[in-house]
Structure 1
Amino acid sequence: MVAQNPLFHGRWTMKRFNATVINDIWPEVLFFTLIATMVTLVSKMTPHQLVIPSGLLTVLGTVLGLVISFRTSSAYERYQDGRKMWTNIVTVSKNLAMMFWVHVPSERTIEGLSTEKATLQGVIEKKTMINLIQAFSVSVKHFLRGEPGVYYQDLYPLICFLPRYANADGAHAEEDKLPLWSASDDIEKAYKRKEKNPRAAQDTLGHHPQRTVSLPTGHARGETLVDDSKSEASWFRSLSKNGNTAGRSARRKTFDPEKVLPEVDSRHPLKPARNPPVASLYDYIPLLRIFKWVVRTLLRRAKPQHEIDARLKKKKLDQVESNVPMEICLVLSSYTAFLMQQNLLQPSIATGVTNNITSLQDTLSNLERIRNTPLPFAYQAHLRMSLWLYLLFLPFQIYGTFGYITIPGTAFASFLLLGFLEIGQEIENPFNYDLNDLDLDHFCLSIQRELHEITAYTHPDPSTFIFSPWNHPFAPSDRRSAADLIHGPTYSLPHPKDGPEAGLASIRRTLVNSWREVDRETRHT
């Protein structure tokens, strides 16, 4: 089957146009085209011939082409590595879920509980751990996109029940708060410090919360969680009353996978599961960034030095580290240790579970390596400056041969070379929201669907479905059902050529005949 041409498949939108590199390279292409136009017009209309020997053109062009090809291929290799790592997350998540769901027994004996209640407790326990496996992929998605913390619509409902304090049975002091929640709360406080007005807060959070904003009291552990964001909560509630909330009701008509998640309370407004940056005028006209940089530099110089130092110090305080995926792996490892201590997991299966959790951590480290290790700045800067110099001198070298064709020729050469260079930079970090990036949301939703499919498995007794009239195990040589075979007399070939024959020898002959018939009928001649 021939693959569809992406240029003519689907409807073209501005987002799809931004996925090309045209909007990134057109100022440079225009600049070099104007240089070629100047060279051509001066050489044609004046006695001055702006021509230089073209001896270096072939040599430098070949070398530059090879370097750009290496730059693009190395970036694509990172893209492919990212895809392989996510394939590994999908595979390991399913393996872990199958091991927990199938090999960890639900029927247990718990003192003080009836058999039915104990079984229910075991099922809840396993399903909760499988939800944490789903939360791992979601947390990796936010981690790679530079979205710290846990207060997201697709992540917080899956992990909100995890312990918040080191002393679960004692007083809940802020000093006892565990790293997962301490870092996330500090990040939310940093958001509040940065925003001075509700409109700015709305732009930063990207949406209004889809869940309630006050924490429940009277948990099963007798834990009472104090809401420290009452002013922010009241602001969001006032927006909801005024009808300004772009909430879930507006999204149900199209695509809202978060509605299948639990409805839980949160002490902080939950940020959206997908919050791509809004394209601005600077994305379509990159030249304007120069003026933005000049204005910002002038304003910075106009500020007193003590204000600049205070701002830098505050910025350092706002940089909070939060490794949510690692915290989830710790919980899964702790659960595995609990199963082994309670003799609820066979040693061989426990080894497989441990290996899969180790694989998740290894995959996370590889993804972090891809995200945080760009090509060296010196290499990228030198390559771009070399390409600019090559394109700058290109019209001077080809004018003597091409004449007026120098103008479109330079435009095409700059479009081609700058495009490949920009593509390498575009796919170097494949974890963002562009159409050229990996669809991390699709991977996470796919894991979610498959984990729910695994937990729908009911552990049936094999005898209830194997010996069924629907099962024809020996076809095509013997088309009798398993029910007919098991309830009939001693097995014999259905149509023996050398007289009746029964027992294991006839079963083996049936299997050989099935192989021979399948081999003959399935070969294309």
Structure 2
Amino acid sequence: MAFPRSSLQMGEDRASVSISEEALIKERGRRPTFIPESFMPSNRNKHRNSHSQSFDDYFLGPRELDRHSKWPMLFRIHGSCVPELLLPLLFVAAWTTSICLFSRHVRDLGISSTLLTVLGFIVALSLSFRSSTAYERYMEGRRAWTTLTMVSQNLARNVWINAVEREESAKDDLLAKVTALNLIVAYAQALKHRLRFEPYTHYDDLRDRVGHLDTFAKEATELEPHRDDDPPTFWESWGEYLAIPMALSNPRKKIKNANYPLGNLTLEILNHLTVYINTIIAGGCFRANIYQTQALNAVMTMNDIQANTDRILNTPLPLAYAIAISQLTWVYILILPFQLYTTLGMVAIPGTLFAAYMILGFASIGREIENPFGRDVNDLPLDDFCNQLAVDIDIIMATAPRDSDVFVKHEQNQLMHPLSRNGYEAWSESSIDEIRSALKKKSLISQKNVQPGLRRRDDVMQGEGDRRYERMRSSGNDVV
């Protein structure tokens, strides 16, 4: 589809547009234009094969749900904590090697393993506590997003089907319903960005969905064009891959450095949704009070989900616990070679490295999934969740609400499958008793297909039950 030249030309080129072209531009502006297929968001190039995948993409997250690897779990790097443990393990290797060499050539520094037993129990208890609390937060975040998906689908279906389009304003009501369903998707996208400390509205998946709303975030985006959106430098990227604390920036930096009020975009979207629901209630579009109650309760549940996700995000493990667990694990690892050298000798070097990998690995996993809404490899794939919700709501809008007779009385509606292949028209000529009798036979066939003892004729029970089955087969002409 050709686009108006005014939308593609800037500066002096616009002066060369003739009067007739300007009139044509205005005429075209009255009709809806469509995004070219090449500009539409697509997952076509989302995945790269193993030959074209860059180093950065391999370690970025969250992990895509449809990504499949044929490598055994033992050899997988993507999703593991190995990159974050490279520097700590190198330090442990250097420390253990120096202790073992000093003990072998200068003076034996080996000590009794009694301390190893005592501290090992405490380390195991602390790591278990850290892992269990982190995984609980991870699953709580997943449950919150599952609830959001379910509530959004129910609200979209309620509005699309139960909100009647009035005859005098059918077109306006239809466009308003589409707007409301788009706002439901926008709420999920806005919540995702809120949980990742991205408070503005210029993001690709959000800009076109909320650009027509009067919100604080939109105003801040327009007033602050030079936002901190620069990509990370080479050293910042490597510092993030290797989990170097000194190289990690504050995730709340954009909110902290904002010069204008950012508001609460998700809450403001819910305000607009509530205004729409009140409008269709006042207009009599909801014919039953239960539809009104369900719609308003859905908005309240969406607000409750935001509060729950904010609680998960803003209530991490208490700092005292985190510091104590980190200090305890490192003290245990640092004194480990002194205790292992007495019994293992130089083998204490790989033994200490293996123990350090397990201990630091579990601590790293707990630290990574403590915030399940981030961009780590093992975090929740919120982008995929939001995209799937958008697809689901588009599917709901794809079909206009119809009368049930359209599919109930369809000629291909095989009501008694697998008993009969006849359609609705054939069964509508039968009496009620014949239909109920056929339903009973259909139930017997279903039980025969499910119960293993009835799948073969030789295994059917003898006696009255067997004779009833034979009568059923002889009386049903359409049994398959």
Match of 2:153 in 1: 94
- The aligned residue for residue 323 of structure 1 is 264
- 1:495-514 matched pairs, under 5 angstroms: 503-514=431-442
Q: Gaps (5+ residues) in structure 2?
A: 1-48, 60-76, 454-480
Give, as a single letter, the amino acid of the residue that structure 2 aligns with 1:510: A
How far residue 63 of structure 1 moved from its aligned partner, in angstroms, is 2.0
Pair 130,315 (structure 1): closer, same or farther in 2 beyond 3 Å: closer
Match of 1:517 in 2: 445
Q: 1:156 aligns with which of 207, 229, 240?
A: 207
Deviations 1:168-212 (A, max 9, x none): xxxxxxxxxxxx23x4433554553x7xxxxxx7xx256xxxxxx
2:30 aligned residue: none
| Distance (whole Å) between structure 1 residues aligned to residue 353 and residue 174 of structure 2 | 65
Cα distance in 2 for residues equivalent to 1:280 and 1:387:
27
What aligned pairs does 1:26-175 form with structure 2 within 5 A after superposition? Answer: 26-46=86-106, 48-109=107-168, 118-162=169-213, 164=214
Aligned residue number for residue 282 of structure 1: 239
State yes or no: 1:449 paired with 2:374: no
- Structure 2 distance, partners of 1:521, 1:75, is 45
Question: Per the alignment, in what secondary structure is the counterpart of residue 318 of structure 1?
Answer: coil
Question: Greater shift after overlay, 474-483 or 133-142?
Answer: 474-483
Identity percentage of aligned residues: 31
* TM-score w.r.t. length of structure 1: 0.67
**1:403 is matched with which residue?**
345
Change (3 A) 1:288 1:139: closer
CA distance in 1, matches of 2:330, 2:204: 45
2:240 aligned partner, one-letter code: D
How far did 1:316 drift? 6.4
Letter in 2 for 1:124: L
Superposed displacement of residue 436, structure 1: 1.3
1:135 Cα deviation after fit: 0.6
Q: Partner residue of 1:185?
A: 219
Identify if the C-alpha distance between structure 1 residues 135 and 483 changes in structure 2 by more than 3 Å, giving closer, same or farther: same
Instruction: Give the 5 Å matches for 1:114-513.
Output: 118-162=169-213, 164=214, 180-181=215-216, 183-186=217-220, 189-190=223-224, 192=226, 204=229, 280-283=237-240, 289=246, 318=259, 320-345=261-286, 346-486=288-428, 488=429, 491=430, 503-513=431-441
Change (3 A) 1:277 1:44: closer
Aligned counterpart for 2:85 among listed residues 22, 25, 28: 25
Q: Distance in 2 between matches of 1:81 and 1:278?
A: 34
CA distance in 1, matches of 2:419, 2:239: 71
Aligned-pair distance for 1:285?
5.7
Cα-to-partner distance string for 1:399-423 (whole Å, 9 max, x where unaligned): 1110111111111111110111011
Distance in structure 2 (CA, Å) of the matches to 1:421 and 1:188: 42
Q: AA paired with 1:98?
A: R
Tell me the distance in 2 between the aligned counterparts of 1:516 and 1:278: 70
Aligned-partner Cα distance in 2 for 1:82–1:394: 37
- Distance of aligned partners of 1:315 and 1:336 in 2 relative to their CA distance in 1, 3 Å threshold: closer
Instruction: Could you tell me which runs of 5 or more consecutive residues in structure 1 were left unpaired when the two chains were aligned.
Output: 1-8, 110-117, 165-179, 195-200, 207-274, 294-311, 492-502
Contact 1:472 1:480 in 2 (8 A): yes
Q: Specify the code of the residue in structure 2 equivalent to 1:395.
A: P
SS of match in other structure, 1:154: coil
Partner letter of residue 120 of structure 1?
A: K
Closer, same or farther: CA 332–367 of 1 in aligned 2, 3 Å: same
Q: CA RMSD in A?
A: 2.8
> Distance in 2 between the 1:288 and 1:205 partners?
20
**1:33 partner SS:** helix
Q: Deviations over 1:267-297 (max 9, x none)?
A: xxxxxxxx9999523335666938x99xxxx
Residue number in structure 2 paired with 1:5: none
In structure 2, C-alpha distance between the alignment counterparts of 1:28 and 1:459, rounded to whole Å: 60
Structure 1 residues 139, 69: closer, same or farther in 2, change over 3 A?
same
Cα distance in 2 for residues equivalent to 1:287 and 1:470? 64
Post-superposition CA distance 1:311-345 (Å, at most 9, x none):
x9x96663744311111111111111122222221
Q: Is the 8 A contact 2:201 2:221 kept in 1?
A: no
- Compared with structure 1, are the counterparts of its residues 317 and 284 closer, same or farther at alpha carbon in structure 2 (3 Å cutoff)? closer
Cα deviations across residues 350-391 of structure 1 (Å, max 9, x unaligned)? 111111111111111111111111111111011101111111
Instruction: Classify 1:21/1:521 alpha carbon distance in 2 versus 1 (closer, same or farther; 3 Å).
Output: closer
With 28-37 and 71-80 compared, the bigger mean Cα shift is at 28-37
In the alignment, the residues of structure 2 paired with residue 27 and residue 45 of structure 1 have an alpha-carbon distance, to the nearest angstrom, of: 27
**Which whole-Å CA distance do the structure 2 matches of 1:395 and 1:205 have between them?**
45
- On the 8 A contact 1:469/1:484 being kept in 2, the answer is no
Name the amino acid aligned to 1:442. D
Q: How many residues matched?
A: 380
How does the TM-score come out when normalised to structure 2?
A: 0.73
After TM superposition, which residue ranges in structure 1, 4 or more long, deviate above 4 angstroms? 9-13, 275-279, 284-288, 314-317
Return the offset for 1:69. 1.7
2:10 corresponds to: none
Q: Quick one: distance in 1 between partners of 2:452 and 2:88?
A: 56
